[in-house]
Structure 1
Amino acid sequence: MKSKFKIGDLLLSLGTVIVFVLSIVLWTFIMTNDQYFSRIDQTNSVTQHTHNQRGQAFNNLYVPTSSYGFENGQPYRLYDAKKNLPLEFAKELKSVKYWGIKTISSDQKSYEKMLNNSVYLQLTFPNEISVNLFTKRKLTNKDKKFRRAFVSASNDSLYLGNDKTTTIYRINLANADFSLLREYADNIKGKKPVKFVRTKDSYETFYTKQENWRVYSYLTTKQTDSYFVSRLLGTTNVTSRASKKDWTTYSLNYYTKLRVPSAASERNDLLYTRYEKQKEMTVNDRLLNSIELVHKLGLSEQDLRYFDSSNEITCYSNYIEGMPVFMGQHDPQISTKLTQDTVEVAFNNLDLQIPIPFDGQTRTLEPTDEVVQQLVNNGLKKAEIQRVIVAFRVEKDSSHDNLVNLIPVYFVKAYDQWKSVEEWKQTDIASLARQEAKK
């Protein structure tokens, strides 16, 4: 009997030690994980900028997502989970004051020279944003747009680049100090060699070598339909009717509706529609109005970033370790559409909640030139390719109902549609081209 007590005490002590060690390991992982610090920064920024919509938009959803530097004249994509350059850039801009904007050049040769100038550290947005949103004030009467920020050795000015028009602007700065940002960039560990290639809409990042990309896993959660009904339609005078087999539509009145999928369909895409007359909007107004709709949904915005825009549509995606996540086959997390008559918000109610420690899984992706050539051989014209990126597709993990894996693959935008390379290979491109030609 005494021996049993000793064994029991030993097992209890051993169990206590294991739990203690495990808690230290998990605490270390969380505290050193880029997502943790990203969330702290965003939570604080939302609190600090509740009375400053432009400041909130830039410091929360509208921040750069990629950074580039040079080594021996070769451009590299820079990434470090512990020293997130785009977030550091956003932090350093909080106290900056802007004055004056001047067009430096607008020809393609000068723009490409700037792209490949090793003097500058580049930070890019996934797509264009307005200068006035970036500066948090009406700096220009015309709604000028840009995609790239070029940081030089000087703290007195910043250069902004518009990929579409190949225009470079210079903005004068006061109270700026990018020394820490430059130090991080000089000592960063994660580097992938790239080149900048002109596509239909922009200059895209082409990876020049075969690269191994990590597979990440996340536990997910999703809100109930009633949660979104309450937030978007209110709690009174809401009726519902089954419009189709796999859909239910909740209506506040004829003008305001929310369509949700049935549980049996295993879909997670919802659509909010409101019919109302809108005033003519500038690009800046459209982006700010889109932000209000994103906040209204009540989805987690911890890793949410501006992703894409075209015409009346603005899209937002979760960014994990510097790369966007496509929900479903090829949908971003949220898409807002603002027309003169209608407000539409298409969104996915699946939230990436808790990151699982990296287990060593990777996927090997070929150089971008090879991927593009495969699509050209399949009938997609190079002139129709708008964007080329590496992003995550979501794949369910069979070991747990709420566990998903984020698989890195190439995604391509053409004809204003985002699809994975495998999807494009299965697409009747000739038929799609004829449909687009008729529009």
Structure 2
Amino acid sequence: MTLIIAVAISFVLTYLIMTHNTVFNRPTQDVNSNADAVQTDTMQSLGDVYLPIRVIYHNDDTEKLVYNRKNNLMSNLQKQMAKWSLAKIGDPTKLNTKDYVERINQKNTIMMIYPDRITWQLFADTFKQKVKQSASDFVFDRLSVAQGKDQLTLTFMNDKTDTIRQAKVKGNYSTLTKLVKGADFTVPVKYIAMNKTVQMLFTESFRMNPYSYLVAYTPDNEFVNNLMGKVDSSSIKSRSDSDGTEYTSGSQKLNVAKSGHLVTYSEYGKKQAKTMTEKLENSFQTLKQVGITLRNIRYFSYDDNTGSISFRNYVEGFPVFQQTTRGAVQITPGDSTGLLEASFANSNLQVPVPSDQTAIAVQPTQNVIDTLVKQGYHRNRIERIQLGYRWQMDKQTDQVVDLIPTYYVRYYGQWQSYATWLKTDPNTVTDADDSAQKHALSNAQANAVDRVQQEADTSGVK
């Protein structure tokens, strides 16, 4: 009964959240008053979806992940940096791994991190800079702001190549530090080199709140109207079977699965997206066209092999896994044959539901590594560790989803929850890159993590 009442209350909150700034992903200070800054839930700007998702503040003493539950810290940082005017960006400098990691851990810096690579052209659009400030387009994962004697240095960093590019800029560093010091959630971190990549470690145990959210389901006809609405409705044919319903019209096809809340769409005749910037921009246009709620949706990964771009829900700066077998949204923009493919969830996060769940203690990341090694896993095959929220449907109602803090680990090319690896015999794990799964598991940020069974236990976070 308590949960039912909470759900009813949340329907009221849904209306309120549609019409007011909230703690989700909207800034409550420095709000731009022009029309472009007023976004509906489905019409987020390209800059909203492709913002960095993590902020690290390193003063003289400590290096911390910072987040503000009361307003959108990253959005407010972006608004300040959009006022800057960058000088010409320098040529790339290749560092060795040791020096590159030291640069990441540099003191007296504010670092903003993307979940995967982004392009300079897209950054310039998002941060209101002149594209011509770089002689050519380039990719990077993170940018660091450091204060000098009379100006700031902005460093663009590429984790895959250990390459940096720098630009001088006149800006107010104290304005940025004021924002990050106002964060109401901080946790100590450090970066290390781990098996040809850079890994962030939480260096201390901390408590992380599980959440319950009201879930809304998008009906089939909305997807049909949004994606196939330009054609005569009489030309749209539908066919249903035990797996779901298929809608077709000319070169367009829409499949709605009967279970799993996964919708897939394909269309021929699209212009080929040749560059990474074009693919990111085209994917955003498709994302808007789908019409799902974008309030919490953010860019998550780019796949070199397929050109696919993935998006996920983010809650308090952490990604949500296992919503479907492919995340929240996965889009492959027009390829050489003109084929566009998209898959997306018809389940959408709305507003938090009051919950009596207690905060969960998250152990230091190094403990996760040490425990896996002690169990027989090879340290040099642990490729990446990611902390996020596991999507788990509530046992009492399908109108509510529980989000449980969970570590995920990529080992031998395979992503599983930490709890799943602890239940697995290390001797039975084979290299996924030598199997037919190679391309499916090649994403730097692991869409395959969603294929993990939705377990109730949360070993590693308790």
- Tell whether the structures are fold-level matches, with TM greater than 0.5: yes
Give the percent of matched residue pairs that are identical in Structure 1 and Structure 2.
25
Letter in 1 for 2:115: P
**Is the alpha carbon distance of 1:399 and 1:305 closer, same or farther for their aligned partners in structure 2, counting shifts above 3 Å?**
same
Which has the larger displacement, 30-39 or 199-208?
30-39
* Structural mapping, 1:384-423, within 5 Å: 384-413=381-410, 418-423=415-420
Match of 2:115 in 1: 126
Question: Cα distance, 1:328 vs. partner?
Answer: 2.9
Instruction: Indicate yes or no: 2:291 matched with 1:303.
Output: no
What residue number does 2:220 align with?
A: 225
**Alignment of 1:112 onto 2:101:** yes
Q: How far is 1:157 from its partner?
A: 3.7
Decide whether aligned partners of structure 1 residues 296 and 73 sit closer, same or farther in structure 2, where only a CA change above 3 A counts. same
Secondary structure of the residue that 1:409 maps to in structure 2? strand
Amino acid at match of 1:252: S
Q: Are 1:138 and 2:126 counterparts?
A: no
Question: 1:159: which partner in 2?
Answer: 155
Q: Tell me the SS of whatever aligns to 2:407.
A: strand
Assess, with a 3 A threshold, how the Cα gap between structure 1 residues 69 and 284 changes in structure 2: closer, same or farther.
same
Q: Is the 8 A contact 2:101 2:193 kept in 1?
A: no
C-alpha displacement at 1:170, in angstroms?
A: 1.2
1:211 to 203, 206, 217: 206
Quote the Cα distance in structure 1 between the aligned partners of 2:196 and 2:34. Answer: 32
Task: Map Cα deviations across residues 376-408 of structure 1 (whole Å, 9 max, x no partner).
Answer: 566765555443221111122234431111101
* 1:313-328 pair list within 5 angstroms: 313-328=308-323
* TM-score using structure 1 length: 0.81
Contact 2:212 2:400 in 1 (8 A): yes
| Counterpart residue identity of residue 241, structure 1 | R
Aligned counterpart for 2:274 among listed residues 265, 277, 281: 281
User: How far does residue 410 in structure 1 lie from its aligned partner after superposition?
Assistant: 0.7
Give the corresponding residue for 1:256. 252
Describe the SS at the equivalent of 2:226. helix
In 2, Cα distance between equivalents of 1:43 and 1:246: 47
Contact kept in structure 2, 1:215 and 1:406, CA below 8 Å: yes
Counterpart in 2 of 1:349? 346
Q: Structure 2 CA distance, aligned partners of 1:238 and 1:384?
A: 49
Instruction: Classify the secondary structure of the residue corresponding to 2:26.
Output: helix
- Aligned equivalents of 2:22 and 2:116: distance in 1? 26
Structure 1: gaps spanning 5 or more residues: 1-22
Question: Is 1:103 paired with 2:101?
Answer: no
1:202 Cα shift? 3.6
State how far apart, in whole Å, the 2-side matches of 1:195 and 1:314 are: 28
Unaligned runs of 5+ in 2: 1-11, 440-462
| Aligned counterpart, 2:459 | none
* Aligned residues of 1:45 and 1:56 also touching (Cα < 8 A): no
Counterpart amino acid of residue 195 in structure 1: K
Cα separation, 2, equivalents of 1:31 and 1:192: 29
Distance 1:421 1:385 in 2: 11
The AA in structure 2 aligned to 1:86 is M
1:163 is displaced (CA, Å) by 1.0
After superposition, what is the alpha-carbon deviation per residue over 1:119-147, rounded to whole angstroms, capped at 9, x for unaligned?
21111111110011101253335431111
Contact 2:152 2:173 in 1 (8 A): no
Give deviations 1:158-217, integer Å, cap 9, x for gaps. 11111111111112435x434222113235442212121224564221112222211111
In 2: Cα distance, 1:141 partner to 1:413 partner: 36
The one-letter code sitting in structure 2 at the alignment partner of 1:275 is Y
Q: Which amino acid aligns with 2:343?
A: A
Higher alpha-carbon Rg: 1
Taking the aligned partners of 1:437 and 1:273, their CA distance within structure 2 comes to: 22
- What is the rounded CA distance, in whole Å, between the counterparts of 2:247 and 2:28 in structure 1? 33
CA contact (8 A) 1:379 1:429 kept: no
In 2 relative to 1, CA 295–329 (structure 1 residues): closer, same or farther, beyond 3 Å?
closer
1:364 deviates by: 2.1
CA contact (8 A) 1:105 1:111 kept: no
On the 8 A contact 1:247/1:260 being kept in 2, the answer is yes
Query: Is the alpha carbon distance of 1:132 and 1:80 closer, same or farther for their aligned partners in structure 2, counting shifts above 3 Å?
Result: same
CA distance in 1, matches of 2:33, 2:409: 34
**3-state DSSP of counterpart to 1:92:** helix
**Cross-structure match for 1:90:** 78
The aligned residue for residue 449 of structure 2 is: none
In the TM superposition, residue 89 of structure 1 has moved relative to its aligned partner by 1.4
Which amino acid is 2:23 matched to?
D
SS at match of 1:296: helix
Secondary structure at 1:118's aligned position in 2? coil
- Aligned 8 A contact 2:330 2:344 in 1: yes
Partner of 1:8 in structure 2?
Answer: none
Distance 1:124 1:216 in 2: 24
How many Å separate the matches in 1 of 2:254 and 2:421? Answer: 31
Superposed CA RMSD:
3.4
How far apart, in 2, do the equivalents of 1:179 and 1:358 lie?
38
Q: Which aligned segments of 4 or more residues in structure 1 are displaced greater than 6 angstroms?
A: 39-46
